[in-house]
């Protein structure tokens, strides 16, 4: 049997919530330094330096990229933070999958009320697919992701009755 391997990536866009958090963090650091200079407090100045260091350390982790890997009936959803740190968020065996279909497909109508896990880029023009699968003790979940054509083809070859392309 041929090795069924495909991978795809999707860079998550900056949401208004993430942008607001970044602005809030910058203002907190600036406010701490400003207040430390007004009061002459060395403790606030040290706290400002520590906060600035933490901002520089964690700032790249605001840039998230999703990586989807399909290997022989197993689908992994990984996050890559700051272009270097990888963490597997979810691993699904295709035996646990009910259906895979595009977001607007009528094949998903019976599953719309299940919990959603969004592992997509959040772009409006993205080609989003949904995997409905049993996830641990939670039961069925809808998992949004952006596979490429090769990945959809490999999934369809593995489970032709579960993967819808229309």
pLDDT digits (tens, 9 = 90+) for 101-144: 999 999 999 999 999 999 999 999 999 999 999 998 889 999 99
- The domains of the chain are located at 5-11+63-158, 16-61
pTM across the whole model: 0.82
Quickly list DSSP for the chain. Answer: ----EEEEEEEPPPPHHHHHHHHHHHHHHHHHHHHHHHHT-HHHHHHHHHHHHHHHHHGGGG-EEEEEEEETTEEEEEEEETTTEEEEEEEEEGGGEEEEEETT-GGGGGGTTSEEEE-S---TT---EEEEEE-GGG-EEEEEE---HHHHHHHHHH-TTTB---
pLDDT digits (tens, 9 = 90+) for 32-59: 999 999 998 899 999 999 999 988 888 8
Is the CATH number of domain 5-11+63-158 2.30.29?
yes
């Amino acid at each position: 049997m041929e090795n069924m391997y495909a991978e795809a990536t999707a860079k998550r866009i900056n949401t208004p919530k993430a942008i607001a958090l970044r602005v809030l963090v910058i203002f907190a650091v600036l406010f701490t330094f400003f207040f430390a200079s007004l009061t002459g407090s060395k403790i606030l100045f040290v706290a400002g330096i520590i906060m600035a260091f933490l901002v520089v350390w964690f700032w790249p982790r605001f840039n998230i990229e999703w990586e989807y890997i399909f290997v022989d009936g197993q689908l992994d959803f990984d996050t890559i933070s700051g272009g270097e740190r990888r963490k597997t968020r979810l691993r699904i065996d295709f035996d646990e999958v009910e259906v895979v279909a595009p977001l607007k497909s009528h094949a998903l109508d019976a599953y719309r009320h299940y919990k959603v896990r969004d592992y997509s880029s959040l772009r409006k023009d993205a080609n989003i697919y949904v995997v409905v699968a049993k996830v641990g003790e939670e039961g069925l979940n809808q998992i949004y992701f952006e596979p490429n054509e090769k990945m959809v083809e490999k999934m369809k070859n593995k489970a032709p009755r579960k993967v819808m392309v229309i």
